[in-house]
Structure 1
Amino acid sequence: MAPVTTPVKAAAGEGLVCALTFDDGPNGKDTAALLDALRERGITAVFAVIGEQIAAPGGADLLRRTVAEGHVLCNHSTSFADMGNWGADAVRADMQANLAIIREALGDSDARVPFWRAPNGNWGVTAGVAVELGMQPLDVTNVIQDWIDQDADLLAERLSAVMTPGELVLVHDGGGDRAGSVAAALRVVDEKLAQGWRFTLPLGAE
């Protein structure tokens, strides 16, 4: 499916389906624990990755594992900078730089990175530039504010409340200590699986 500037917000499939997206990694033990748990449950997800995180110790190994285990990558910029007021040339340069970081880490100059997500959700001109570079903008409005709190019980309550059939949900595995985020996500995933939910990928991931 050719990318379009309107961001994707829907999960593939019908009924009790949801697509998991994880932001700001890869990030050491938190990403590793998350990957372990997703593999045990046979779930694939989208990982929106940051170039600085890939370049950090162990980041490239985690990225390679993420792809090897069937997860889908999303370009999330080289850093945590807000790009909402950047011009197109600056946006393009950063997107291309992060693609280069990703592909160099993977050892594959053609590695597929089908999605783009704007840092902090501030799109500016980034959606149009992403489409020019062959990436589908990906928007996630179902969030749990886990960049503020890391109380696993609170985050699990929030995640259960915002997880909506047919939509995407966002949890962070990077950008700081995210042990609470990972624990909450896995608790809610197990609850939803027991209720008959399925975890798919966003539309356009195929």
Structure 2
Amino acid sequence: MSVPPPHGGHHAPRVTPVDAAAGDGLVCALTFDDGPNGRDTLRLLDALRAREITAVFCVVGEQIERGDGAQVLRRIAADGHVLANHSMSFADMGEWPADRVWVDLTRTLDVIRAVLGPRHPVPYWRAPNGSWGATAEVAVELGMQPLGVVNHIGDWAEQDPEVLADRLRAAMTPGSMVLAHDGGGDRAGTVDAVIRVVDERLADGWSFVLPAG
């Protein structure tokens, strides 16, 4: 009997990437890429827990397998955050054939579930560098909804918290889905900026939700 491929768990994924938050009014969906990263991800998780905010963490297989990555992934899941498959590495997959994409995405699902259990949902997919190629179609076949790469703050090239806070304020329009990074390098400035701007928005009556759909 053949073994069925892993399934991310999204009930009705579509190829068109989601790029907005669920709901209306002063809402925003927070998504974080390239982790887990022990120091910065844990500080971010502490801040989100204190504010009772749920976010999407787009995790990289190699990061899970490195250092305390598995332990941090368990904390992400225990805190109730939602996972996205962000591939095994930081490689651009835009030119990859579908069969190679399939191998990478299924391997990443296996790495995640080796830590969290065979049924843990991974309902989203985010293409590294926003370079889609065949990845959206493969993700949908594997039960994952592609997430758009929109409203980013360029924090892979800048870690001044003042600059990033200004960019976050501009990115957080009503109904937006915002991309920041908790891994892939030193992200202390990102975490500082997220905490500052989230507190401002909460004081103004905003809610932080998951992506639409």
- Tell me which interval the TM-score lies in, with the shorter structure as reference length: over 0.9
Q: Runs of 5+ in structure 1 lacking a partner?
A: none
User: Within the alignment, does 1:182 sit opposite 2:197 as a pair?
Assistant: no
1:159, distance to aligned residue in structure 2 (A): 0.7
User: Within the alignment, does 1:113 sit opposite 2:141 as a pair?
Assistant: no
Q: Which amino acid aligns with 2:108?
A: N
Q: Which amino acid aligns with 2:66?
A: A
1:140, distance to aligned residue in structure 2 (A): 2.7
| Identical residues among aligned pairs (%) | 66
Distance between the aligned counterparts of 2:101 and 2:124, measured in 1? 15
- Matched with 1:124 is 133
- Matched with 2:52 is 42
User: Within the alignment, does 1:16 sit opposite 2:61 as a pair?
Assistant: no
User: Within the alignment, does 1:159 sit opposite 2:163 as a pair?
Assistant: no
Distance between the aligned counterparts of 1:66 and 1:91, measured in 2? 25
1:135, distance to aligned residue in structure 2 (A): 0.4
SS in 2 for 1:188: helix
Give per-residue Cα distances to partners, 1:37-68, cap 9 Å, x unaligned: 00000000000000011001110011011011
- Matched with 1:32 is 42
Distance between the aligned counterparts of 1:157 and 1:172, measured in 2? 16
Distance between the aligned counterparts of 1:79 and 1:105, measured in 2? 17
Distance between the aligned counterparts of 1:137 and 1:38, measured in 2? 24
Aligned partner (choices 83, 99, 108) of residue 98 of structure 1: 108
Distance between the aligned counterparts of 1:93 and 1:165, measured in 2? 37
Give per-residue Cα distances to partners, 1:96-138, cap 9 Å, x unaligned: 00000000011x1111000000000000010000000000001
SS in 2 for 1:47: strand
- Matched with 1:168 is 177
Give per-residue Cα distances to partners, 1:63-115, cap 9 Å, x unaligned: 01101111000000000000000000000000000000000011x11110000
- Matched with 2:150 is 141
Distance between the aligned counterparts of 1:93 and 1:10, measured in 2? 29
Distance between the aligned counterparts of 2:174 and 2:15, measured in 1? 23
User: Moved runs in structure 1, 4+ residues, more than 2 A?
Assistant: none
Q: Which amino acid aligns with 1:181?
A: T
After superposition, the CA RMSD in angstroms is: 0.7
SS in 2 for 1:57: coil
Q: Runs of 5+ in structure 2 lacking a partner?
A: 1-10
Aligned partner (choices 203, 206, 212) of residue 197 of structure 1: 206
Distance between the aligned counterparts of 2:195 and 2:143, measured in 1? 32
Distance between the aligned counterparts of 1:133 and 1:162, measured in 2? 30
- Matched with 1:70 is 80
Q: Which amino acid aligns with 1:114?
A: P
1:162, distance to aligned residue in structure 2 (A): 1.2
SS in 2 for 1:61: helix
Aligned partner (choices 88, 98, 114) of residue 98 of structure 2: 88
Aligned length: 203
Distance between the aligned counterparts of 1:203 and 1:70, measured in 2? 17
